[in-house]
A and B are shown apart, each in its own frame.
Chain A
């Protein structure tokens, strides 16, 4: 209904029409590249591309805003922690030291450190949209079918699909339970202190787990009664054969990964050094 996040929404874009397999391969190639490289040029290109893809997939901001904000907060904490624990990492990597502002003791803000942390930040920003887009544009059942086609056991594929499919239901449950508990006086809004809110989350999680267990129990009975797991193989109603676009995406993603990594490692290490 409302307030659902991170769930598949049916839309008619070429990204939605792609097979789950090609999207998965793209996603993996993309993540590997992003994780391996610290080459700013590659990262900037990826950042721009991911924004373009995001736009093309017509994913709406409300679908992902909550998760996005959460990740941003963690990223900021991470960046600060890096600075606190190794303020000279940038100098070590790039071999020069350009002090912008001396704080105290060992701690100084250097251009190298800022540049290094800037690289880490864009790494986040290249992966995060790809993950979110993958979740928002991939039909869980079709994804299970694709996984099965590339050789993953259908049990695993179906378990994944059904987990994805229950995300919205569990979210609805969560809202209902939260409301009811709030009515009983368990404050979850900003009026309560952070500590209290964390403690109060237990009052929601507990019933949420119980109602989810109930759900699992019923659905596994239903699956069994309808012959799930009977044969070594199964067919898929929503399976899609790979099409021209799929092959293009798979080839494109692989080529992109190879080129990106070649550029990255061309000068012997993972970093692009503008300071030399």
Chain B
């Protein structure tokens, strides 16, 4: 069979850069295949994707050597529009991808540009909406949908063109775990139904492997470092070397001293042959020693019977009630749109609760202004670009102090100290625009930290970060928590984050608080994970398969073990 995508000795250098971003790529993908491309940020995997959909070289010009053929044709000959007929791209940021005012219009966008008559468009949109299960949403505004629905709409928008290749750029980045699972499931179904070639770019390997993948291509430093089956990849040590997170059950097996072999089919925990490993895992578990969990007893933030709604009779939050202890790291989880961000808005005073109260060190803060709250409780928003308002790093961090009339000497001293804590001191005179996304995030954290808040609330601190940057940010937060006693509240749907870095988790679903407990206990409880659109951790399945009755203790031990390893794993 002839490959549908074929790179031969392909290299690419962006016009603005000195070094090529992709080097000596040799890759063939065959019709109907489902290929996963993984690699850390900056490895060149996004550039590789852009070569496939024609953004390189048409929107991002540069120098190409070697050849690339899509369906036997050089993309250069087809032009970006010709390419859009062959390759449909679902971008990572689905929000930004919406063009139409309603779902139906957005799906029809390609047809409109192809001058398809209106009545034909109606038929076709209806048909494709049925396929991806958004038929009831046709007249809604795309931005008003949930994360999963948005993604299905953007899939419909590219699939309507009957493309041969579907390209997904980090499809899981903005989804809660259960919705991510559904997305992978849908991609799988489409591939089976239409026999479309699927290319998925992702760094959340465990979630991406939820359904069978034919091949995994690992990209590192602009080169293809592996092109293999998932089973072989998981058995080797390449993932660790490339800074990609292994599935948790694989890591657990490796901790237990097992030699994972491709023959045991480690791609899915459910179908994996665990026979050879059971003994070792059980022995590892029996050796367990638990680290003492400090019992904290000083409440810093109390949320009491809080209810809130924008309109009467349509509550966003109902009777939320919990206490955050001083010095703890706590996470707030729940599906997209469950009310997590609303909760942080209420704590920061951006909105007023309809019922209930919030206290800080036992004092009711209902009368505190946003500014007063901001001095004690700092909020770091998800998108750093929404916070940064000064061109230079130093000025940005100094802003909060400057507007409070702090003396210049004190500003210099405090800002420099904060920049050192955040590892930004060497860059203090740089323009913000020269920084990477992760570094910008640090700048926003620094600009809040400089005001010495006692509580730090972070909205999705690691969204869109690869494993290395994720670890960097989280270790940094752990450090300021440990060394400076700052209480950290994180809103997230990253289950690794809650499992590894937080002591307790608040679970919110449909505006109600389902539980507040240790993450290991929550992620092994099917009832809660189902209701809150979380995913039960694969450690649970591993424990059950190895006949360890207390799966929660197993998961907890795994985390302790990993923490003791000092984040090496």
Interface residues of A (CB under 8 A from B): 1-2, 8, 139-141, 161-162, 165, 168-169, 173, 176-177, 179-187, 189, 191, 200, 202-204, 206-207, 210-211, 214-215, 218-219, 221-231, 233-239
Query: In the complex, are the beta carbons of A184 and B448 less than 8 A apart?
Result: yes
Residue of A nearest to B444 (CB): A180
**Shortest Cβ gap from B507 to chain A (Å):** 24
* Residues of the A chain whose Cβ atoms lie less than 8 Å from the Cβ of B158: 225-226
Query: In the complex, are the beta carbons of B99 and A179 less than 8 A apart?
Result: no
Besides A184-B448, A207-B387, 14 more A-B contacts (Cβ < 8 Å) are A168-B143, A177-B386, A180-B379, A181-B389, A182-B374, A183-B348, A185-B371, A185-B375, A207-B386, A225-B89, A226-B99, A234-B114, A235-B112, A238-B105
A102-B122 Cα distance, complex, nearest whole Å: 70
Determine if B451 is an interface residue (Cβ-Cβ < 8 Å). Answer: yes
Q: What 1/0 mask marks residues of chain B from 74 to 103 whose CB sits below 8 Å from any chain A CB? A: 000000110011000101010011111110
Query: In the complex, are the beta carbons of B370 and A183 less than 8 A apart?
Result: yes
Determine if B487 is an interface residue (Cβ-Cβ < 8 Å). Answer: no
A274-B116 Cα distance, complex, nearest whole Å: 60
* Residues of the B chain whose Cβ atoms lie less than 8 Å from the Cβ of A1: 310
**Shortest Cβ gap from A151 to chain B (Å):** 17
Given contacts A162-B99, A218-B91, contact A173 B59 (CB under 8 A): no
> In chain B, residues 380-399, which have Cβ atoms closer than 8 Å to a Cβ of chain A?
381, 383, 385-390, 399
Residue from B58, B370, B386 in contact with A182 in the complex, judged by beta carbons closer than 8 Å: B370
**Shortest Cβ gap from B94 to chain A (Å):** 10
Determine if B111 is an interface residue (Cβ-Cβ < 8 Å). Answer: yes
* Residues of the B chain whose Cβ atoms lie less than 8 Å from the Cβ of A227: 81, 84-85, 110, 113-114, 161
Query: In the complex, are the beta carbons of B399 and A237 less than 8 A apart?
Result: no
Query: In the complex, are the beta carbons of A185 and B400 less than 8 A apart?
Result: yes
* Residues of the B chain whose Cβ atoms lie less than 8 Å from the Cβ of A230: 81, 113-114
A185-B447 Cα distance, complex, nearest whole Å: 11
* Residues of the B chain whose Cβ atoms lie less than 8 Å from the Cβ of A239: 118
Given contacts A165-B101, A226-B109, contact A219 B370 (CB under 8 A): no
Query: In the complex, are the beta carbons of B113 and A237 less than 8 A apart?
Result: no
Q: Can you list 22 A-B contacts with CB-CB less than 8 angstroms, sorted by A residue number? A: A1-B310, A165-B101, A182-B370, A183-B349, A184-B403, A184-B451, A185-B451, A206-B389, A211-B385, A219-B99, A222-B91, A222-B99, A224-B80, A225-B158, A226-B157, A227-B110, A228-B99, A231-B113, A234-B113, A235-B121, A237-B105, A237-B112
Determine if B125 is an interface residue (Cβ-Cβ < 8 Å). Answer: yes
**Shortest Cβ gap from A12 to chain B (Å):** 12
Determine if B148 is an interface residue (Cβ-Cβ < 8 Å). Answer: no
**Shortest Cβ gap from B102 to chain A (Å):** 8
Residue of A nearest to B93 (CB): A218
**Shortest Cβ gap from A193 to chain B (Å):** 13
A166-B112 Cα distance, complex, nearest whole Å: 20
Determine if B524 is an interface residue (Cβ-Cβ < 8 Å). Answer: no
> In chain B, residues 512-559, which have Cβ atoms closer than 8 Å to a Cβ of chain A?
none
Determine if B350 is an interface residue (Cβ-Cβ < 8 Å). Answer: yes
Give the 3 A-B CB pairs with smallest separation, nearest first: A218-B96, A183-B374, A237-B108
Interface of B is mostly: helix
Query: In the complex, are the beta carbons of A225 and B53 less than 8 A apart?
Result: yes
Given contacts A185-B371, A235-B121, contact A226 B110 (CB under 8 A): yes
A173-B93 Cα distance, complex, nearest whole Å: 16
Residue from B84, B373, B374, B399 in contact with A226 in the complex, judged by beta carbons closer than 8 Å: B84
**Shortest Cβ gap from A242 to chain B (Å):** 14
A75-B161 Cα distance, complex, nearest whole Å: 52
Given contacts A179-B370, A184-B400, A203-B389, contact A141 B105 (CB under 8 A): yes
Residue of B nearest to A236 (CB): B112
Residue of A nearest to B433 (CB): A210
Given contacts A165-B101, A179-B345, A180-B381, contact A210 B157 (CB under 8 A): no
* Residues of the B chain whose Cβ atoms lie less than 8 Å from the Cβ of A226: 84, 99, 109-110, 113, 157-158
Residue of B nearest to A142 (CB): B101
A225-B59 Cα distance, complex, nearest whole Å: 10
Q: What 1/0 mask marks residues of chain B from 290 to 322 whose CB sits below 8 Å from any chain A CB? A: 000000000000000000001000000000000
Residue of B nearest to A139 (CB): B101
Determine if B199 is an interface residue (Cβ-Cβ < 8 Å). Answer: no
* Residues of the B chain whose Cβ atoms lie less than 8 Å from the Cβ of A200: 403
* Residues of the B chain whose Cβ atoms lie less than 8 Å from the Cβ of A203: 389, 399
Query: In the complex, are the beta carbons of B105 and A211 less than 8 A apart?
Result: no
Residue of A nearest to B348 (CB): A183
* Residues of the A chain whose Cβ atoms lie less than 8 Å from the Cβ of B125: 237
Determine if B404 is an interface residue (Cβ-Cβ < 8 Å). Answer: yes
Residue of B nearest to A230 (CB): B81
Query: In the complex, are the beta carbons of A180 and B97 less than 8 A apart?
Result: no
A87-B58 Cα distance, complex, nearest whole Å: 62
Residue of B nearest to A158 (CB): B99
Query: In the complex, are the beta carbons of A236 and B99 less than 8 A apart?
Result: no
Interface centre among A179, A183, A238, by most chain B C-beta atoms within 10 angstroms, is A183
Query: In the complex, are the beta carbons of A235 and B53 less than 8 A apart?
Result: no
Q: What 1/0 mask marks residues of chain B from 366 to 379 whose CB sits below 8 Å from any chain A CB? A: 00011101110011
* Residues of the B chain whose Cβ atoms lie less than 8 Å from the Cβ of A183: 348-350, 370-371, 373-374, 378-379
**Shortest Cβ gap from A91 to chain B (Å):** 52
Query: In the complex, are the beta carbons of A184 and B447 less than 8 A apart?
Result: yes
Query: In the complex, are the beta carbons of B99 and A223 less than 8 A apart?
Result: yes
Determine if B104 is an interface residue (Cβ-Cβ < 8 Å). Answer: yes
Determine if B274 is an interface residue (Cβ-Cβ < 8 Å). Answer: no
**Shortest Cβ gap from A250 to chain B (Å):** 22
**Shortest Cβ gap from A4 to chain B (Å):** 12
* Residues of the A chain whose Cβ atoms lie less than 8 Å from the Cβ of B390: 206
Residue of B nearest to A220 (CB): B59
A177-B375 Cα distance, complex, nearest whole Å: 17
A204-B85 Cα distance, complex, nearest whole Å: 41
Determine if B426 is an interface residue (Cβ-Cβ < 8 Å). Answer: no
Residue of A nearest to B116 (CB): A235
A234-B386 Cα distance, complex, nearest whole Å: 36
**Shortest Cβ gap from A231 to chain B (Å):** 6
Given contacts A179-B350, A183-B373, contact A214 B385 (CB under 8 A): yes
Given contacts A183-B379, A227-B114, contact A222 B97 (CB under 8 A): yes
Query: In the complex, are the beta carbons of A187 and B371 less than 8 A apart?
Result: yes
